Amino acid sequence: MDSRRLAYLQAMGVVAWQPRSGAVAESEALPAAPEAAEPVSEAPLCMDWEALRQTACACRGCVLHETRTSVVFGVGSPDAALMLIGEAPGADEDRQGEPFVGAAGRLLNAMLKAIGLSRDEVYIANMLKCRPPGNRDPRPEEVAACGAYLERQVQLVNPKLVVALGRVAAQHLLESDASLGRLRGELHEFGAQRIPFLATYHPAYLLRKPTDKRKSWEDLKRIREVLAR
Ligand code: SF4
């Protein structure tokens, strides 16, 4: 099997059968790749919190394992009514191993406080557990590879409301290419459990464009309203 086909199958999460190295001619053997990505199986979907965390922290399911400093698993209350999902760790998160820290994290904490919530009362995670180099957008194969961890986190938290932070998370989670401006206007449903779902701005975006904080406040009021139902 050539290396391109093998890489494609790995990105799709398919474990490809390969003959033992001794059974193939040297010219057909794949180059040694001790750090190669290993597909994430369906196993995370049956795990408890501790097993899920340990598995994610050792994960090599996509190329991002090669450049990460930390696996940023998620933080907060495992019984939270509100689950916040961003796209991927940034530089501060990668260094500290926690999502939404630094200036964006402080703004998120202030946004939560404005609707009467503390960071400890919600659950915060990203679609990707490892930082894309240079903060580039996540690639579809990376989101697919990491999806089982987030899916299981949502199952375990079983929140009353999921909120996507930012365009990239909103579009991936809703499988839509509509603009964030359109997506944040309505109450959606998420996943097989059909959990109520809202989209709003990423705090890092609000730091760059503070004039949109007024629209963000409208979203926060909507979040508070849905949680109060
Ligand atoms: S981003 Fe997700 S799938 Fe990729 S290595 Fe990290 S934990 Fe594994």
Mean pLDDT per segment of 10 residues, for the chain of length 229 residues? 41 38 40 63 90 97 97 98 98 97 97 97 98 95 96 97 98 96 95 95 97 97 97
What does the pLDDT read at residue 16?
A: 38
Domain 41-228: CATH class, spelled out:
alpha beta
User: Separation of 28 CA from ligand 1 center, angstroms?
Assistant: 29
Tell me which residue has its CA closest to atom 6 in ligand 1. 130
Whole-angstrom Cα distance, residue 200 to residue 223? 10
User: Separation of 93 CA from ligand 1 center, angstroms?
Assistant: 15
User: Separation of 24 CA from ligand 1 center, angstroms?
Assistant: 31
Q: Among the atoms of ligand 1, which is closest to the Cα of residue 37?
A: 5
User: Separation of 205 CA from ligand 1 center, angstroms?
Assistant: 24
What does the pLDDT read at residue 198?
A: 98
| Global confidence as pTM | 0.84
What does the pLDDT read at residue 7?
A: 41
Q: In the structure, which protein residues have their CB atom closer than 6 angstroms to any atom of ligand 1?
A: 40, 56, 59-62, 64-65, 71, 128-130, 142, 145-146
What does the pLDDT read at residue 3?
A: 45
User: Separation of 162 CA from ligand 1 center, angstroms?
Assistant: 21
Q: Among the atoms of ligand 1, which is closest to the Cα of residue 40?
A: 3
What does the pLDDT read at residue 11?
A: 41
Tell me which residue has its CA closest to atom 4 in ligand 1. 62
Instruction: Identify which of 94, 130, 136 to mutate to test ligand 1's pocket (most ligand atoms within 8 A of the CB).
Output: 130
What does the pLDDT read at residue 211?
A: 97
What does the pLDDT read at residue 150?
A: 97
What does the pLDDT read at residue 35?
A: 62
3-state DSSP of the chain: CCHHHHHHHHHCCCCCCCCCHHHCCHHHCCCCCCCCCCCCCCHHHHCCHHHHHHHHHCCCCCHHHHCCCCCCCCEECCCCCEEEEECCCCHHHHHHCCCCCHHHHHHHHHHHHHCCCCHHHCEEEECCCCCCHHHCCCCHHHHHHHHHHHHHHHHHHCCCEEEEECHHHHHHHHCCCCCHHHHCCCCEEECCCCEEEEEECCHHHHHHCHHHHHHHHHHHHHHHHHHHC
